[in-house]
Chains A and B, each alone.
Chain A
Amino acid sequence: MGDFFNTFLNNPIINILLALYHIFSFMHIPYSLGFAIIGLTIVIRFILYPLTKSQLEASAKMQKVVPHLSKIKEKYKGDNTRIQQETMRIYKEQGINPAAGCLPVLIQMPLIWSLYYVLQRVVGFKTNLDVSGINKLAYFDFLKLHHVWNTTFFGLSLGAMPSKLMSSVGPLILLVPILTGVFQFLLSKMMIPAKTEVAILEKDIEKKTEIDKKDAGDFASAFQTQSMFIFPIMIGFFSFSFPIGLSLYWNTFTIFGIIQQYKVMGWGGLSEWIKKK
Protein backbone atom coordinates (compact mmCIF):
# COMPACT_ATOMS: atom_id res chain seq x y z
CA MET A 1 0.00 0.00 0.00
CA GLY A 2 2.80 2.39 0.89
CA ASP A 3 4.52 1.53 -2.38
CA PHE A 4 1.35 2.25 -4.29
CA PHE A 5 1.09 5.71 -2.77
CA ASN A 6 4.74 6.43 -3.45
CA THR A 7 4.62 5.38 -7.08
CA PHE A 8 1.35 6.99 -8.08
CA LEU A 9 1.03 9.99 -5.79
CA ASN A 10 4.07 11.04 -3.79
CA ASN A 11 6.77 10.58 -6.42
CA PRO A 12 4.94 12.38 -9.24
CA ILE A 13 4.26 15.23 -6.83
CA ILE A 14 7.93 15.40 -5.82
CA ASN A 15 8.90 15.56 -9.48
CA ILE A 16 6.44 18.36 -10.26
CA LEU A 17 7.87 20.23 -7.28
CA LEU A 18 11.44 19.69 -8.50
CA ALA A 19 10.50 20.83 -12.02
CA LEU A 20 8.85 24.00 -10.70
CA TYR A 21 11.81 24.65 -8.44
CA HIS A 22 14.22 24.39 -11.37
CA ILE A 23 12.06 26.65 -13.54
CA PHE A 24 11.84 29.30 -10.83
CA SER A 25 15.54 29.21 -9.96
CA PHE A 26 16.42 29.29 -13.66
CA MET A 27 14.39 32.49 -13.91
CA HIS A 28 16.35 33.79 -10.90
CA ILE A 29 13.21 34.19 -8.86
CA PRO A 30 14.20 34.50 -5.21
CA TYR A 31 12.75 32.06 -2.69
CA SER A 32 12.26 29.50 -5.46
CA LEU A 33 11.20 26.74 -3.11
CA GLY A 34 8.41 28.80 -1.58
CA PHE A 35 7.07 29.75 -5.00
CA ALA A 36 7.46 26.16 -6.15
CA ILE A 37 5.19 25.11 -3.27
CA ILE A 38 2.61 27.72 -4.29
CA GLY A 39 2.93 26.60 -7.92
CA LEU A 40 2.59 22.95 -7.02
CA THR A 41 -0.58 23.59 -5.04
CA ILE A 42 -2.07 25.54 -7.93
CA VAL A 43 -1.16 22.76 -10.37
CA ILE A 44 -2.87 20.18 -8.16
CA ARG A 45 -5.90 22.44 -7.72
CA PHE A 46 -6.17 22.81 -11.50
CA ILE A 47 -6.01 19.05 -11.92
CA LEU A 48 -8.84 18.73 -9.40
CA TYR A 49 -10.77 21.66 -10.88
CA PRO A 50 -13.17 19.70 -13.13
CA LEU A 51 -14.06 17.45 -10.21
CA THR A 52 -14.67 20.20 -7.70
CA LYS A 53 -16.45 22.40 -10.22
CA SER A 54 -19.03 19.78 -11.12
CA GLN A 55 -19.40 18.98 -7.46
CA LEU A 56 -19.96 22.62 -6.53
CA GLU A 57 -22.52 23.10 -9.27
CA ALA A 58 -24.38 19.96 -8.33
CA SER A 59 -24.29 20.97 -4.68
CA ALA A 60 -25.71 24.41 -5.50
CA LYS A 61 -28.57 22.91 -7.47
CA MET A 62 -29.23 20.29 -4.83
CA GLN A 63 -29.59 22.96 -2.20
CA LYS A 64 -32.31 24.57 -4.26
CA VAL A 65 -34.40 21.42 -4.42
CA VAL A 66 -34.15 20.66 -0.70
CA PRO A 67 -37.68 21.99 -0.07
CA HIS A 68 -39.10 19.76 -2.80
CA LEU A 69 -37.29 16.77 -1.37
CA SER A 70 -38.60 17.35 2.13
CA LYS A 71 -42.11 17.52 0.75
CA ILE A 72 -41.57 14.20 -0.96
CA LYS A 73 -40.21 12.70 2.21
CA GLU A 74 -43.30 13.80 4.05
CA LYS A 75 -45.65 12.58 1.37
CA TYR A 76 -44.24 9.10 0.91
CA LYS A 77 -43.10 8.53 4.45
CA GLY A 78 -41.99 4.94 4.97
CA ASP A 79 -41.95 4.10 1.27
CA ASN A 80 -38.23 4.39 0.63
CA THR A 81 -38.19 3.15 -2.95
CA ARG A 82 -40.87 5.68 -3.88
CA ILE A 83 -38.90 8.46 -2.21
CA GLN A 84 -35.82 7.43 -4.16
CA GLN A 85 -37.78 7.42 -7.42
CA GLU A 86 -39.31 10.82 -6.83
CA THR A 87 -35.93 12.24 -5.80
CA MET A 88 -34.45 11.01 -9.04
CA ARG A 89 -37.29 12.54 -11.02
CA ILE A 90 -36.67 15.93 -9.44
CA TYR A 91 -32.92 15.68 -10.05
CA LYS A 92 -33.64 15.00 -13.70
CA GLU A 93 -36.08 17.87 -13.98
CA GLN A 94 -33.61 20.29 -12.46
CA GLY A 95 -30.76 19.02 -14.59
CA ILE A 96 -28.78 17.76 -11.63
CA ASN A 97 -26.36 15.13 -12.73
CA PRO A 98 -26.64 12.36 -10.21
CA ALA A 99 -24.02 10.43 -12.09
CA ALA A 100 -21.24 12.12 -10.20
CA GLY A 101 -21.92 10.74 -6.75
CA CYS A 102 -19.43 11.11 -3.97
CA LEU A 103 -16.54 9.26 -5.60
CA PRO A 104 -15.10 12.38 -7.27
CA VAL A 105 -14.97 14.02 -3.86
CA LEU A 106 -13.29 11.08 -2.22
CA ILE A 107 -10.69 10.82 -4.97
CA GLN A 108 -9.38 14.22 -3.93
CA MET A 109 -8.53 13.15 -0.41
CA PRO A 110 -5.41 11.07 -1.18
CA LEU A 111 -4.06 13.88 -3.36
CA ILE A 112 -4.51 16.49 -0.65
CA TRP A 113 -2.94 14.13 1.84
CA SER A 114 -0.05 13.29 -0.44
CA LEU A 115 0.71 16.95 -1.01
CA TYR A 116 0.85 17.41 2.74
CA TYR A 117 3.10 14.37 3.15
CA VAL A 118 5.56 15.45 0.48
CA LEU A 119 5.81 19.04 1.68
CA GLN A 120 6.23 18.02 5.27
CA ARG A 121 9.27 15.98 4.20
CA VAL A 122 10.66 18.54 1.81
CA VAL A 123 10.59 21.70 3.93
CA GLY A 124 12.77 20.12 6.60
CA PHE A 125 15.73 19.73 4.21
CA LYS A 126 19.12 20.41 5.71
CA THR A 127 21.83 17.99 4.67
CA ASN A 128 23.28 16.45 1.54
CA LEU A 129 21.79 13.16 2.66
CA ASP A 130 18.33 14.66 2.12
CA VAL A 131 19.39 15.79 -1.34
CA SER A 132 20.64 12.38 -2.45
CA GLY A 133 17.43 10.90 -1.04
CA ILE A 134 15.23 13.10 -3.20
CA ASN A 135 17.51 12.76 -6.24
CA LYS A 136 16.86 9.02 -6.20
CA LEU A 137 13.18 9.80 -6.80
CA ALA A 138 13.76 12.21 -9.71
CA TYR A 139 12.51 10.86 -13.03
CA PHE A 140 15.15 12.66 -15.11
CA ASP A 141 18.70 13.78 -14.51
CA PHE A 142 17.91 17.41 -15.11
CA LEU A 143 15.41 17.34 -12.26
CA LYS A 144 18.10 16.41 -9.76
CA LEU A 145 19.29 18.88 -7.17
CA HIS A 146 22.95 19.85 -7.13
CA HIS A 147 22.99 21.33 -3.66
CA VAL A 148 20.67 21.75 -0.70
CA TRP A 149 17.97 24.19 -1.65
CA ASN A 150 17.35 27.39 0.21
CA THR A 151 14.36 26.83 2.44
CA THR A 152 13.76 30.44 3.38
CA PHE A 153 10.79 32.44 2.16
CA PHE A 154 10.90 36.20 2.72
CA GLY A 155 13.26 35.70 5.60
CA LEU A 156 11.29 32.91 7.27
CA SER A 157 12.43 29.31 7.22
CA LEU A 158 9.76 27.16 5.56
CA GLY A 159 10.65 24.29 7.85
CA ALA A 160 10.17 26.25 11.07
CA MET A 161 6.92 26.38 13.03
CA PRO A 162 5.43 29.70 14.14
CA SER A 163 5.35 28.33 17.68
CA LYS A 164 9.15 28.01 17.65
CA LEU A 165 9.69 31.37 15.93
CA MET A 166 7.83 33.33 18.60
CA SER A 167 11.05 34.11 20.48
CA SER A 168 13.13 35.16 17.47
CA VAL A 169 10.59 36.90 15.22
CA GLY A 170 8.21 38.11 17.89
CA PRO A 171 4.42 38.22 18.00
CA LEU A 172 4.30 39.30 14.36
CA ILE A 173 4.66 35.64 13.44
CA LEU A 174 1.14 35.13 14.80
CA LEU A 175 -0.02 36.68 11.53
CA VAL A 176 0.66 33.33 9.86
CA PRO A 177 -1.89 31.30 11.86
CA ILE A 178 -4.30 34.25 12.02
CA LEU A 179 -4.29 34.76 8.25
CA THR A 180 -4.65 31.02 7.72
CA GLY A 181 -7.69 31.03 9.96
CA VAL A 182 -9.17 34.11 8.30
CA PHE A 183 -8.91 32.68 4.80
CA GLN A 184 -10.48 29.45 5.97
CA PHE A 185 -13.30 31.40 7.60
CA LEU A 186 -13.97 33.37 4.41
CA LEU A 187 -14.27 30.14 2.46
CA SER A 188 -16.56 28.55 5.06
CA LYS A 189 -18.71 31.65 5.12
CA MET A 190 -18.99 31.68 1.33
CA MET A 191 -20.17 28.09 1.37
CA ILE A 192 -23.30 29.09 3.20
CA PRO A 193 -25.96 30.26 0.75
CA ALA A 194 -26.85 33.95 0.73
CA LYS A 195 -29.60 35.14 3.07
CA THR A 196 -32.18 35.88 0.42
CA GLU A 197 -32.05 32.33 -0.83
CA VAL A 198 -32.11 30.98 2.67
CA ALA A 199 -35.21 32.98 3.56
CA ILE A 200 -37.18 31.37 0.77
CA LEU A 201 -35.97 27.95 1.70
CA GLU A 202 -36.43 28.31 5.40
CA LYS A 203 -40.22 28.03 5.54
CA ASP A 204 -40.15 24.79 3.65
CA ILE A 205 -37.17 23.47 5.49
CA GLU A 206 -38.72 24.02 8.90
CA LYS A 207 -40.74 20.87 8.52
CA LYS A 208 -37.70 18.95 7.43
CA THR A 209 -35.54 20.04 10.33
CA GLU A 210 -38.17 18.83 12.71
CA ILE A 211 -37.71 15.36 11.31
CA ASP A 212 -33.94 15.67 11.26
CA LYS A 213 -33.66 16.92 14.79
CA LYS A 214 -35.05 13.71 16.14
CA ASP A 215 -32.04 11.88 14.76
CA ALA A 216 -29.25 14.31 15.43
CA GLY A 217 -28.35 15.17 19.00
CA ASP A 218 -28.26 18.78 20.08
CA PHE A 219 -24.49 18.77 20.27
CA ALA A 220 -24.12 17.40 16.77
CA SER A 221 -26.30 20.06 15.22
CA ALA A 222 -24.55 22.73 17.25
CA PHE A 223 -21.20 21.57 15.91
CA GLN A 224 -22.60 21.61 12.41
CA THR A 225 -23.69 25.23 12.61
CA GLN A 226 -20.66 26.33 14.60
CA SER A 227 -18.18 24.58 12.31
CA MET A 228 -17.93 27.80 10.32
CA PHE A 229 -16.14 29.26 13.35
CA ILE A 230 -14.63 26.18 14.93
CA PHE A 231 -12.90 24.89 11.84
CA PRO A 232 -10.96 28.10 11.02
CA ILE A 233 -9.78 28.28 14.62
CA MET A 234 -8.65 24.67 14.41
CA ILE A 235 -6.80 25.32 11.16
CA GLY A 236 -5.20 28.43 12.64
CA PHE A 237 -4.03 26.40 15.60
CA PHE A 238 -2.59 23.73 13.30
CA SER A 239 -0.71 26.31 11.30
CA PHE A 240 0.76 27.64 14.54
CA SER A 241 2.37 24.29 15.27
CA PHE A 242 3.13 23.13 11.70
CA PRO A 243 6.04 24.20 9.48
CA ILE A 244 5.43 27.46 7.62
CA GLY A 245 5.82 25.66 4.28
CA LEU A 246 2.62 23.77 5.04
CA SER A 247 0.74 26.96 5.87
CA LEU A 248 1.91 28.28 2.52
CA TYR A 249 0.40 25.21 0.88
CA TRP A 250 -2.82 25.41 2.84
CA ASN A 251 -3.36 29.11 2.19
CA THR A 252 -2.74 28.72 -1.53
CA PHE A 253 -5.19 25.84 -1.44
CA THR A 254 -7.82 27.89 0.41
CA ILE A 255 -7.41 31.02 -1.72
CA PHE A 256 -7.80 28.93 -4.85
CA GLY A 257 -10.89 27.45 -3.22
CA ILE A 258 -12.28 30.93 -2.53
CA ILE A 259 -11.76 32.00 -6.15
CA GLN A 260 -13.31 28.77 -7.36
CA GLN A 261 -16.28 29.15 -5.04
CA TYR A 262 -16.78 32.73 -6.25
CA LYS A 263 -16.63 31.71 -9.91
CA VAL A 264 -19.16 28.92 -9.53
CA MET A 265 -21.54 30.20 -6.86
CA GLY A 266 -20.75 33.87 -6.23
CA TRP A 267 -20.11 35.34 -2.80
CA GLY A 268 -22.68 33.18 -1.02
CA GLY A 269 -22.86 34.00 2.68
CA LEU A 270 -20.25 36.73 2.27
CA SER A 271 -22.48 38.86 0.05
CA GLU A 272 -24.30 40.47 2.97
CA TRP A 273 -20.99 41.85 4.26
CA ILE A 274 -19.79 42.97 0.87
CA LYS A 275 -22.97 44.88 0.08
CA LYS A 276 -22.71 46.89 3.28
CA LYS A 277 -19.38 48.40 2.25
Chain B
Amino acid sequence: MKKTIILMIKFYQTFISVILKNILGVNKMCRFSPTCSEYAKRTISKEGLFNGVKKSTMRILRCQPFIEF
Protein backbone atom coordinates (compact mmCIF):
# COMPACT_ATOMS: atom_id res chain seq x y z
CA MET B 1 0.00 0.00 0.00
CA LYS B 2 2.69 2.44 1.08
CA LYS B 3 4.75 1.56 -1.95
CA THR B 4 1.78 2.01 -4.30
CA ILE B 5 1.06 5.47 -2.94
CA ILE B 6 4.69 6.52 -3.27
CA LEU B 7 4.77 5.14 -6.78
CA MET B 8 1.65 7.16 -7.59
CA ILE B 9 3.27 10.31 -6.23
CA LYS B 10 6.32 9.64 -8.36
CA PHE B 11 4.09 9.22 -11.41
CA TYR B 12 2.41 12.52 -10.58
CA GLN B 13 5.78 14.27 -10.24
CA THR B 14 7.13 12.91 -13.48
CA PHE B 15 4.13 13.29 -15.77
CA ILE B 16 1.06 15.01 -14.35
CA SER B 17 2.89 17.88 -12.71
CA VAL B 18 4.90 18.62 -15.85
CA ILE B 19 1.79 18.49 -18.02
CA LEU B 20 -0.14 20.74 -15.64
CA LYS B 21 2.66 23.29 -15.68
CA ASN B 22 2.60 23.29 -19.47
CA ILE B 23 -1.16 23.69 -19.65
CA LEU B 24 -1.32 26.50 -17.12
CA GLY B 25 1.88 28.18 -18.21
CA VAL B 26 3.48 28.37 -14.79
CA ASN B 27 7.02 27.38 -14.06
CA LYS B 28 7.21 27.39 -10.35
CA MET B 29 4.05 27.45 -8.37
CA CYS B 30 5.10 26.31 -4.92
CA ARG B 31 5.31 28.41 -1.82
CA PHE B 32 6.68 25.50 0.13
CA SER B 33 10.02 23.87 -0.13
CA PRO B 34 10.29 20.96 -0.69
CA THR B 35 7.18 20.79 -2.83
CA CYS B 36 4.06 19.20 -1.43
CA SER B 37 4.45 16.04 -3.45
CA GLU B 38 8.07 15.64 -2.39
CA TYR B 39 7.08 16.29 1.21
CA ALA B 40 4.29 13.72 0.97
CA LYS B 41 6.69 11.16 -0.44
CA ARG B 42 9.15 11.72 2.39
CA THR B 43 6.70 11.78 5.28
CA ILE B 44 4.84 8.72 4.04
CA SER B 45 8.02 6.70 3.75
CA LYS B 46 9.32 8.00 7.07
CA GLU B 47 6.27 8.19 9.31
CA GLY B 48 3.94 5.72 7.71
CA LEU B 49 0.87 5.98 5.56
CA PHE B 50 -1.60 7.43 8.05
CA ASN B 51 0.60 10.17 9.47
CA GLY B 52 2.13 10.98 6.13
CA VAL B 53 -1.17 11.43 4.36
CA LYS B 54 -2.53 13.45 7.27
CA LYS B 55 0.43 15.82 7.37
CA SER B 56 0.57 16.21 3.60
CA THR B 57 -3.14 16.94 3.37
CA MET B 58 -2.82 19.63 6.03
CA ARG B 59 0.06 21.11 4.10
CA ILE B 60 -1.85 21.26 0.83
CA LEU B 61 -4.79 22.86 2.61
CA ARG B 62 -2.46 25.52 4.05
CA CYS B 63 -1.43 26.54 0.55
CA GLN B 64 -4.09 29.17 -0.09
CA PRO B 65 -4.65 32.92 0.08
CA PHE B 66 -6.48 32.94 3.40
CA ILE B 67 -3.76 31.38 5.50
CA GLU B 68 -0.38 32.97 6.08
CA PHE B 69 2.44 30.53 6.09
Which residues from chain A sit less than 8 Å from chain B, CB to CB? 52, 55-56, 59, 62-63, 66, 69, 73, 83-84, 87-88, 91, 98-105, 108-109, 112, 184, 187-188, 191-193, 215-216, 219-220, 223-224, 227, 231, 257, 260-261
Does B4 have its Cβ within 8 Å of any Cβ on chain A? no
A interface SS class: helix
Assess whether A59 is in contact with B33, with CB atoms less than 8 Å apart: no
Enumerate chain A residues within 8 angstroms of B68, measured Cβ to Cβ: 98-99
A-B contact pairs, 8 of them (CB 8 A): A55-B24, A91-B31, A101-B63, A109-B20, A187-B25, A219-B14, A227-B21, A231-B18
B25 engages A112 (CB within 8 Å):
no
Candidates B18, B23, B25, B36; contact of A223 at CB < 8 Å? B18
Q: How large is the interface on B (under 10, 10 to 19, 20 to 34, 35 or more residues)?
A: 20 to 34
Min C-beta distance of B6 to chain A, whole Å: 12
B40 to chain A, nearest CB (A): 13
Q: Is B50 an interface residue (CB 8 A)?
A: no
Expressed in whole angstroms, the Cα–Cα distance for A184 and B62 within the complex equals 32
Task: Check if B33 sits within 8 Å of A227, measured CB to CB.
Answer: no
In contact, A224 and B18 (Cβ under 8 angstroms): yes
**Given B18, B30, B36, B65, which contacts A99 in the complex, CB threshold below 8 Å?**
B65
Partner of B10, one of A52, A73, A104, A220: A220
**Binary CB contact string for chain B from 2 to 26 against chain A (1 if under 8 A, 0 otherwise):** 0000000010011100111111111
Max chain B Cβ within 10 angstroms of own Cβ: one of A62, A102, A260: A102
Knowing A59-B27, A100-B65, A101-B63 touch, does A73 contact B33 (C-beta < 8 A)?
yes
Tell which of A55, A192, A223 touches B29, judged by Cβ atoms closer than 8 Å. Answer: A55
